Every structure is written in structure tokens, then in C-alpha cells.
Chains A and B, each alone.
Chain A
Amino acid sequence: MIKSDKTGLVFFPAFDWAITPTHPERQERLLYTRDQIFEEGLMDLPRIREYKPRLATFKDICRTHFCVPGVKDQVTHAHLIAAGGALVIADALMAGEIRNGFALVRPPGHHAMRVVHGNRGFCSINNEAVMVDYLRKKYGLKKIAIIDTDVHHGDGTQDIFYHDPDILVISFHQDGRTLYPGSGFTNEAGGPTAYGRTLNVPLPPGTTDEGIHYVLEKLILPVLDDFKPELVVNSAGQDNHFTDPLANMKVTAQGYARLNEKLKPDIAVLEGGYAIETALPYVNTGIILAMAGMDYSNVVEPDYSPEKFILSREKKEWIEKVVAELTAVWERRDAIDIEVLRAKSEYFQRQKTIFYDTDGINEYQTEKFRLCPECGGYLAISSQAYHYNGIQHNILALSIPFNGCHECREEAYAEYETGIGRKIYDYVYFQDRVSDTYRGYSREKDREWEE
């Protein structure tokens, strides 16, 4: 790779897209951020290189997601451009044009799971996951770490990589008992073949810069040292900010900037953050400067005063306890003997219920995962979605990992064909990431298609 000293930036505020006119995820969200970074002249800095986003293709989406019924039903141009913005940064990084990059895009994505029946937590398409799978397919990258610094649990990203030992997903967030989506506890630590590759750090409301930096230094950085990823992605939400209207944390622009300085992500992708005036202009400026290796010490909110941000002894102890617990999980990450599990059953199964808050959908899922001794093992998901308006979808989805073995591919394909023959499924999908082909079948139309 050619050495570059530049930080790539895709700025896509989607000034013509909103969930609804008054929704937090609306046109106005990045308006003041735009004003701030343009007025600062950040795009002119010799260390910054601005890129124009492009549209991700349907194939890029299908490599990661099962969109029900199809991609065109779940995505708008804005989603394709937001995901495409992350891909532009990924390409620039791999071409050596930049040293790191930040996709400052909306709509966000980290609540979008593998199966997409609708929008949940303001997300339809998981921008980071689409980018990670693109990097693996196009450039052959293997080990990637995603650090989710949004205040909400990155449950979509967790879902997508739960059985993938090559992708480390660490999310720190406000405790799920006090905030959407209500998950992200320490016991959610990855499937049997990827144990410890999902780490969740629930934090008490009111956690300050000191609190998240403790997690970073005592847990995240040491784990990254062990894991040795080829690439680190920051799923960069900004709603831990002390002024965020949807959460209750006490992180500052300085705290976020310093986090990026220490974490040194290769790529950051914007996630949530809804204090559009009091946080976003400052936090984004801070992150950009930190990633560009420039001084960010003067990026301070007007109402910032250090005495407001002292972490109580009680909260500090809570955080220490969580970090200790997760360190133990990490140390046991290779303790599960797959052969012991295989002796009982060749398949691992789990049931999930998923609520789509934005679109009002209840989904019931059964995940069946083959404990394959050769490859990562294929995944069979049967899912029933009940929309608020009475629409129901029952689907079967088969997913082959990037390193899928011959046997898994054959077995999964046979299951796909059997699924087509079974009338209970409205749609059947086959995601073959080895050959990069993505197929679907619609019972209503009695037709197969391919992306």
C-alpha cells in the first residue's frame, strides 16, 4: 500500500431525505454540522481529501442483507448513497490514496440486521456491514474489527456477525435496561464458533469521558492488540454526547475526538447523534481533526465546563466490574470445544424476536447454524414478520460464509430448493458469498431472480 498522509471524507447530509418531517432522522440533522465544517474550511486542509459518494449496488446490499421481499422494497436512493459513501472511503483506503477516512453519511445503519423486513432504530441498511463484506469480497481482507461507539447497542451489526469469528464486534452503550433497543448485555458474546468475538459493554446512564476512556484503554485496545485485525472500523455514533435528546450520557466533543485519536480507526462511519445543534457540529469537527492527526483541543462546546463532568465513584465501579467480566469472556474465547457440541448436534439453533420500532413490525426468527469443521458453517434463517397493518411474510434464508466449503454450499442449496417447494414460505433466499451470487424466489410470482 502506498503511504498517504491524508484523511478521506465523504460528506453526505442527504438534505433531501427524512423518515418523516419532524423525525430526529430528518433533513436538518447535519445542517449545522455542514455549516461548521465548511466554515472551519476543513475541506481545504492539506490533510483532508473530500470524496463524492456513489450508489452502492443491489448486489452490495444482498452480500450482507436479506431484504424482504426485495432490495428495492427496503432501500431508497439515500440508503444506497449512504452505504456507497462508506464503499468510496473503503476503496480510497485500499488504493492507498488515504491513511484513514470518515464517511459522514445519513441515514444510519447499525440497527439493521441480516434480515430486513423494515426500518428499525432509524436504520434500514447496515452501512458498516455492507462495507465490511465488500472489503472481504473485493480485497480479500479477513480480520476486521468494528467498534460501535454509538450510545445505542449496535444490535444489527451484532446480529450480522454473531457467528463470524473473523469479525470482532465491540459495542459500548447506555445500559439496555434504560434505552433502546434494550439489548447488548455482557452475555451476548457471539455464537459457539465465534465466542468472544462479540463483546457488549453496557454503561450506566451519566457515563462521562473518563468512563468511556476507561473501557477503551482497559478493554478495547488490549482486545484489539490480541485480535490483530487488518482493519478497524468505528461505527461512530455521537449520541453519548451530554446534550443528546434521546439518551442520558455525558461524553463531550473532546472525549469523542480523543477516543478516535487513541482508537485510530481506519474507517469511521457516522451512526446516530441527534443533538443536531449542540453536539454534532463540534463532535464531527473534533473527530475529523483527530483522524487527520491535527490539534482538536480548541473544539469545545459553548456550554462546556469541566466540573459538570465528574464520574461518580459508584458508576466507576460499575464500569470496572463490566470491563473485568468482559476481559474474562475474552480470555475464554477459544475455550469452547466445537467437537463436543458437534457430538450432540451438527446444528446450533437459537430463537429471536425482533421489534421494528420505526415500521411497527414483529419478527420471529429461528437461526439454524451448521457447526462445520471445514468452514464457518452456513446459516439457515426462517423468519415470520407481522406488520402492524396485517401484512405477513414468512421467509427462509440461506447464507454461505465467504470461506464456505463445498459441503455447506451443497447442503444449503438443497435446503433452498426444498424451501422453494414448501408452501409455507412466501420468499426463499440464497446468499452465496463464495461465488458472489444472490438469489431469491417469490411464491406469489412463482419466479426466481438473481442480484
Chain B
Amino acid sequence: MYCTGYSKKCGTSLLKTVKVNTIEGDNVFIGIDVGGTYTDAVLTDGKSILRKHKTLTGHDNLLPSLLEALDAMIEGQDISLIQRVVLSTTLITNIIAERKYPPVALILVPGPGLNHGEYKYNTLTHIVSGAIDYRGREAVPVGRGEVSRAGEDIVKKGFKHVAVVGKFSGRNNAHEVLIKQILESEKPGLTVEMGHTVSGQLNFPRRIATTLLTCATREAFSGFVKSVIKSLAERGLRAPAFMLKADGGTLPLETALKRPVETIFSGPAASTLGALSLSPKGQTSVVVDIGGTTTDLALILSGEPLLAARGAKVEEFLTHVKSFAVKSIPLGGDSTVVVREGQIRILPERQGPAFCMGGKAPTLTDALVYLRKAEIGDREKAIEIMEKLAGETGRNSRDTAGEIVTMACQTIVSAIEQMFINWEQEPAYRIWEIMQKTKIRPNNIVGIGGAAGGIIPDVARQMNCTAIIPEHAEVANALGAAVAQPTVTISLRVDTERGRFTVAEDGSTGAVPQGRLFREEDAIKLARERLFHLAEELKIKDYVKKTEVVHCEVFNMVREWTTTGKIYDISIQTPRDILFYLGQEETVDD
């Protein structure tokens, strides 16, 4: 049995579920992506795709779509062979976009710096006195009375959730901990979220936003995760289950509860990882996902998906959530085409489906269908609308359709060029970073989405690249989830003059020996220990085998002309790789 390609037919099951006899004794993996429009699922043994499934996502409740996809994967399958299940969902995206979360009040400890009026988060915000400096020293103690009064007001105004965030709380969390204690003892009904546990990375406003969103989405996320865990148990699935994060890593379901916001934007991560799995290992590729209204671009640099330099923007909030650098351009198969003053233009908007699919206006898809670069809908209708457009351009319909496709290619090519330029222009703070960032251009253009086959070969030709339109591209997201692995990163700051260390990722702190006794190798060893400690907390210790030092900086602290200590800034992580590459292999075909 062979699975036919992408279909635009809108029905419950868009693809026949492919069933292939599983080779006995072989391990299998399940990936499910519950996206905004479609839910995809794959069952794979790491060499080929054994089953795939695609349905429309039921919007109001994601669980039935997820379970339908899951059932399609396990029906008749020996579930004892299933090694793991990885889920990617738009749950958090939906909750935040639709504001289906309880109100959260803020208690902030900004101290000196930006005017306090700059902290606008559209919710009840109390600013209390207190200050921690850049090295984690207390400059001003917390105003306890102010905290009590704030708690009083928050409860009076009907809030049940509070996010407590202090400037430099990643360097010293004492103020946040104290405020939580005061609130919990005086107002037992309040749920308090502390900033340093969400992110200890520098950037106070982003930490406020991320903590606020974590606090806001935790309940709904927890409800969903519990239902999923229950459903898995009901099916007798004992394989570990994971959630995909925006940075392409995964977390076990239970620990994802701690960090719900990190699971936002897992869709683009899933599609990038899927494309990575379907393209040659170790190369530099651009993933072009052409949808109905937008085209998403992602970069894979020497086999590693590029992470955005700064945290993701979630609705109006700038956050600390690490995500892939994905650029979205307003061009898709359903983009409307018009002729103005004899000139063809592709509008950055959708007025409905393609003309050949029963729509009203000509689209990019119609041009592709006319040119036989796509097989979809009613070609007679595509010919009809291209001839009508040709009447307006004064050229024949073949040239008109050709120009539309050329323009779409041009738009994509220049967006890709711009993305590389932006990457080259990302701020760098060290000499070696500036010296080494040389001009890199891709080897491959990997096309995903209905219109990819008609456009990507031209884009690749213009950029002197190899075009890859992978088999199974329509379930690339699910495949991306299936191949994603748990990852852990630790950003350690050690201040030997103060004898303290802090970890940005989980806000943990502790003591180190003061002075010269603590050397660079000790600092790296400590970073490794903290990484394993965090991995254990996240229940992914079994996956952590190797670690790599991403960067290590040592600053001599000199006071009055003598060295009084050292500051170490160390980042260490588990290698970023996916579980397996399917490359360009053919599907098992019977």
C-alpha cells in the first residue's frame, strides 16, 4: 500500500492510514503534531515511515484530534514496541491568543533603573521597594509592609494568581522568596509564581512577561496534560511521553507542567526538525514551508536549526522562551493575484481558496495548476482564470502564469537572502564572534507544503542549491516531533569573590569556595553537575550522555590593583541532534 501525497480535500481523514507490517523486535516511535489547522501523526521505526495520518484539528477541544491520531497509530500495533510518544500542540498558543486564562496580578521589585511606569502589562501591578544589584547583592531591602498591602489589594480585587518578579532575581532570589512567603502566609488562597524559577536569564521585562504567562497557563495546561496521561494509560501505553518545546527539545509530560510556556510555538520547531530528518545530515538548508496564506522560513546551519537570538514574542509580550528563528512572509498558495495598470501583483492576503478549488479570485495555486506544476482542483477553472488575467496583462496566459510563479520565487529568494543577512547582523560581543561569522549560504532548499513542488525547484535554481521536496513532507511536523530529543542547557555564573553561583535556567543558587581555590576546571565541573541535577529534576537524566561547553568566559575581578576573585560565565548543553535521519529514502511500498 502506498500513501498518496498531499490533498487539499477538507475531510476528516485526509490521508489513508498506511499500514506496513512492522518488523518484529524493532522499536517504533510516535510523533503527533496538533497544529492550528491539521493534526498529523507518524509511526516510524527510525528507517522509514510506517504509518501516517492527517486530519483537521477540532478547534475547541484539541484532545479528540490528538487521540484520533494516536489511535490511528496504535491500532493493531504491538504497543510494547513503542519506545516513546512525542506531542506537539498549539494548546498554549490558543490559550494565550484567546485569553482563556485567569487574571494574574503582578508584584514587581524593580529598584533603580527604568522608570517604573514602563512596566505595563495590562493587569493589576504593584511595585514594592527593594533592590538587588548585578552581582546579586541586596542594595535595598524589601518593603514588607508594601507587600502585605499589595496582597490585601490583590485579594480584594478578586485575583487568585500572582507573579512576583524582581530585577536581578536570577542573581539573588531572596526577595522573590520572601515575598512569596509573606503572601502565602497572609493570603493562603493565592497561587504565587516566582520569576527566578521561570527564567534567571537577564532581561527583567521579559522575565515579568514569561512569569505572568506561566502563571496564567499552568492550570489549563495541567488539565490537558492530565487527560493525555490518562488516555495513554487507558490504551495501555507505557512508553514515556514527551512534549515538544519551541527550541526543538522535549520534556516529559509531567515536567512540562513546570514550564508550560516553553511548549508554545512547537509547530515551527516540529516542521523544521521534520525537514531536518528528511534532508541530508550535517548540511546547511533552508526549510520553506508554503502554506495557504503564509510561507515560513527556517534555517538549518551545518545540520543545526538556528535558534532566534532573542526570546519569542508571544502576542504582545516579549518573553524569554527560546525558539527557532522562523521568518513568516505573507505569501502562500491562496495569495490573491491582481493586475494593476497591466502589472501583475501578488497581494499579501487571502480572499478565499484558489479559483480552481471553487474560489472567486485568481491565486498562486491557479498559476501553478495552469503550468502543471501542481495537480489539485479543476485545471479547466485554472485555465479559465489565467486566460482572464492574460486579457488584463495583454500577454498570453502561459506567460502570465509563468510571471506569477517567477514573482513568488523572487519573493521567497529575497526573504531567504534577508534572513541570512539578519543572521549575520545579529549582535556579537566578542572579537572572535565578529571575526568568524563569515558569509554562509545554503546547500539545500527543502520545500514543504502543497505549493512547494511547483516553486521550490525554481527557488533552488536561483540560489544555486539542491531542491529537496521530501516524500512525507505533509507529515513533516509529526515526524519532527517523533525525532525530537530531550535537551538541557545550563548558563552558570560563578562569582568567587562573593563565593556564590547562580544558574539562569532554573534560578538555582549555591556556594562555592571563595578566592583563587576555585579554578576554571572547577567551574566547568560545577556546570556539568548542575546540568545533571537539572536533567534529573526534569526526569530526562537517562538521555544526558554527552555535554558540550558552548562558551566559557573568565573575568578577573580586580579591586585596588589586586585580583580579588573571578567571574565565570559558562554555558553547557547536551548535544543538539535528532533521533534519526530518514534522508531521502523511499517509503516502504508494497
Contacts and interface: CB of A to CB of B under 8 A. Distances in A.
A11 interface: yes
Given A22-B556, A298-B116, A302-B133, A38 B431 contact: no
A41 B310 CA distance: 11
Interface in A23-66: 24, 26-28, 31-32, 34-36, 38-44, 50-55
A300 interface: yes
Contacts of A162: none
Contacts of A34: 429
Interface string B133-146: 11100011000000
Contact of A22 (B118, B133, B563): B563
Contact of A81 (B168, B310, B431, B556): B431
Given A14-B430, A41-B204, A281-B134, A31 B558 contact: no
A306 B567 CA distance: 33
Contacts of A22: 556, 558, 561-563
A12 interface: yes
B429 A15 contact: yes
A77 interface: yes
Interface in B374-433: 425-432
B1 interface: no
B113 interface: yes
Given A36-B113, A289-B114, A298-B116, A31 B203 contact: no
B432 A44 contact: no
B73 interface: no
Given A36-B134, A302-B140, A31 B425 contact: no
Chain B CB within 10 A, most for which of A12, A14, A28, A40: A40
Contact of A35 (B202, B425, B562): B202
A295 B205 CA distance: 17
Contact-residue bracket for chain B: 35 or more
Interface in A289-311: 289, 294-302
B24 interface: no
B435 interface: yes
Interface residues of A, number: 49
B433 to A, nearest CB: 9
Nearest to A302: B139
A277 B135 contact: yes
Interface in B80-120: 112-118
A402 interface: no
Contacts of A13: 429
Interface of A: 11-17, 21-22, 24, 26-28, 31-32, 34-36, 38-44, 50-55, 77-78, 81, 245, 277, 281-282, 285, 289, 294-302
22 contacts: A21-B556, A22-B556, A26-B556, A27-B553, A27-B556, A28-B555, A28-B567, A35-B134, A38-B203, A39-B168, A41-B114, A41-B204, A41-B318, A44-B203, A50-B427, A51-B427, A77-B435, A81-B431, A294-B114, A296-B115, A298-B114, A302-B112
The 3 residue pairs across chains A and B that have the minimum distance between CB atoms: A35-B134, A38-B202, A41-B205
Given A28-B555, A77-B434, 17 more contacts: A21-B558, A21-B563, A27-B556, A28-B557, A31-B555, A38-B203, A39-B168, A39-B204, A51-B425, A52-B427, A52-B428, A53-B434, A81-B431, A298-B113, A298-B114, A302-B131, A302-B133
